[in-house]
């Protein structure tokens, strides 16, 4: 259980509450025992003074015995019983005064009071009102035991009430990973259930919007592709000239934009597009070079080892192709060096440092002072999304007059 968890916090709160009750129980026990002992000693003190005065003036008689009944004391007259108590009893306390002394004797779970006057007269009294303290604390134990049980019941009830939070968190994690098949059937009628229902409703609406978005994008792409293709075919029938080249350039840009839109739609809708397979890093780079259709003099590849990966080959090839293409387009000498080592694929190209942070260029339709004449500012956006789908990271550095783009963490997808 995490220390930051609400379940941990509630458990700690109830443990402190239980500890507080236990400490209160010990404190109450100590206070009650002191009070009980004090009351017992006060009663014995009164009886002792009365008995000593009586023994000094006259022998024990019926009137004296009746007076002792008020204090729940009884005179023991059985000689055998007196001997047993005096011989085997445990003297708990003895108090001496000028006219005699009194001793509290514990024998067979009962208290006896031995009164001895200065005139050598003695009497043994049995305390009929004495109750061992262990019996006295039973009530306190029942009270505090009931409080502990109530606390335990409250803890279990609270945990059960907030337990659906774990289920909601699990579904939120699924949602965060791109899975929109949310199942939240909370059979309660409280605020947590209302949050769960609101989340389910929001996911359902997002799912509808997502499906509408997919359908809209695919339909519009389909509808756009047909006129672009027809336009391109028609342009080829025009006689060679400046206008023909301008029209061809326009249609090429439209076709490029449409292809980039298709890639964006594929990688941003959800993670279902990622189809991982075992492949080699050299194959990915070779395919990316072929896809970019670059000349041999425009690149150099340095690989320290042909690592084996488990990735979506098509998508990672597209990411490598875009970085290669980007490097060549914006380099000062139309040359890119690809180096594979140190848990990364690095692209080195000669050029000035980027004017903005990398995050600026990974947004769609980003342009740097009009320099993106070859595209629409979607290349790095597509690369960034592909890498995120593989739990990889795009890193940018500028060193020794060279721009360096790195696909970092590539070893994480090694098999």
Query: Same domain for 128 and 223?
Result: no
State pLDDT tens for residues 172-228: 887 776 677 777 777 777 777 778 788 788 888 887 877 777 777 777 777 777 788
Give the per-residue SS3 of 42-88: HHHHHHHHHHHHHHHHCCCCHHHHHHHHHCCEEEECCHHHHHHHHHH
Query: Same domain for 223 and 242?
Result: yes
Query: Same domain for 224 and 102?
Result: no
Q: Which of 284, 316, 279, 314 is nearest to 415 (CA)?
A: 279
- Does residue 187 fall inside a structural domain? no
Whole-number Å distance between alpha carbons of 342 and 329: 26
Query: Same domain for 244 and 319?
Result: no
Whole-number Å distance between alpha carbons of 311 and 317: 10
pTM score? 0.48
Query: Same domain for 278 and 387?
Result: yes
pLDDT of residue 338: 94
Query: Same domain for 51 and 127?
Result: yes
- State the residue range of the domain holding 47: 6-134
Bridge pairing between strands 336-341 and 299-303: parallel
Query: Same domain for 282 and 398?
Result: yes
Query: Same domain for 288 and 369?
Result: yes
CB-CB neighbours of 374 under 10 Å: 13
Number of domains in the chain: 3
- Domain edge (last residue) among 118, 134, 150: 134
Domain of residue 347, CATH code: 3.30.565.10
pLDDT of residue 114: 87
Residue 345 · residue 406 · CB < 8 Å: yes
pLDDT of residue 332: 92
pLDDT of residue 374: 46
Query: Same domain for 280 and 361?
Result: yes
Query: Same domain for 282 and 407?
Result: yes
DSSP class of 357: -
CB-CB neighbours of 380 under 10 Å: 24
State pLDDT tens for residues 265-319: 666 655 556 778 888 889 999 999 988 888 899 999 998 888 888 888 888 888 8
- Does residue 395 fall inside a structural domain? yes
Which parts of the chain sit beneath pLDDT 70? Answer: 1-4, 56, 132-137, 177-178, 260, 263-273, 365-377, 411-415
Residue 309 · residue 278 · CB < 8 Å: yes
- Does residue 151 fall inside a structural domain? no
The CA distances from residue 188 to 7, 148, 162, in Å, are: 19, 27, 11
- Does residue 195 fall inside a structural domain? no
Query: Same domain for 253 and 299?
Result: no
């Amino acid at each position: 259980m995490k220390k930051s968890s609400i379940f941990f916090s509630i458990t700690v709160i109830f443990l402190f509450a239980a500890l507080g009750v236990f400490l209160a129980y010990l404190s109450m026990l100590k206070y009650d025992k002191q009070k009980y002992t004090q009351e017992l000693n006060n009663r014995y003190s009164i009886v002792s003074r009365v008995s000593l005065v009586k023994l000094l003036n006259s022998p024990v008689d019926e009137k004296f015995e009746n007076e002792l009944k008020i204090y729940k004391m009884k005179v023991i007259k059985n000689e055998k019983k007196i001997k047993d108590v005096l011989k085997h009893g445990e003297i708990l306390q003895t108090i001496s005064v000028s006219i005699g002394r009194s001793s509290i004797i514990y024998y067979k779970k009962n208290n006896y009071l031995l009164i001895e006057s200065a005139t050598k007269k003695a009497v043994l009294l049995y305390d009929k009102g004495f109750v061992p303290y262990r019996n006295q604390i039973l009530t306190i134990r029942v009270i505090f035991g009931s409080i502990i049980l109530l606390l335990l019941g409250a803890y279990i009830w609270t945990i059960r009430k907030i337990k659906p939070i774990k289920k909601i968190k699990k579904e939120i994690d699924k949602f965060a990973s791109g899975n929109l098949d949310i199942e939240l059937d909370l059979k309660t009628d409280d605020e947590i259930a209302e949050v769960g229902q609101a989340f389910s409703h929001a996911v359902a609406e997002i799912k509808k919007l997502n499906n509408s978005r997919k359908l809209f994008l695919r339909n519009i792409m389909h509808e756009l592709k047909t006129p672009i293709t027809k336009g391109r075919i028609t342009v080829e029938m025009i006689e060679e000239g400046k206008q023909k080249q301008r029209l061809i350039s326009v249609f090429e840009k439209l076709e490029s934009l449409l292809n980039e839109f298709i890639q964006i739609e594929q990688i941003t809708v959800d993670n279902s597009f990622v189809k991982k397979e075992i492949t080699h890093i050299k194959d990915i780079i070779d395919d990316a070079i072929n896809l970019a259709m670059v000349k041999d003099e425009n690149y150099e590849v340095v690989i320290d080892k042909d690592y084996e990966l488990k990735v979506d080959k098509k998508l990672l090839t597209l990411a490598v192709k875009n970085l290669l293409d980007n490097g060549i387009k914006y380099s000062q000498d139309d040359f890119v060096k690809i180096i594979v080592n140190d848990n990364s694929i690095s692209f080195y190209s000669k050029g000035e440092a980027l004017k903005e942070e990398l995050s600026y260029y990974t947004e769609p339709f980003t342009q740097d002072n009009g320099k993106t004449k070859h595209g629409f500012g979607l290349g790095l956006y597509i690369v960034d999304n592909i890498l995120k789908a593989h739990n990889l990271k795009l890193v940018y550095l500028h060193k020794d007059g060279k721009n360096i783009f790195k696909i970092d963490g590539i070893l994480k997808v090694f098999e």
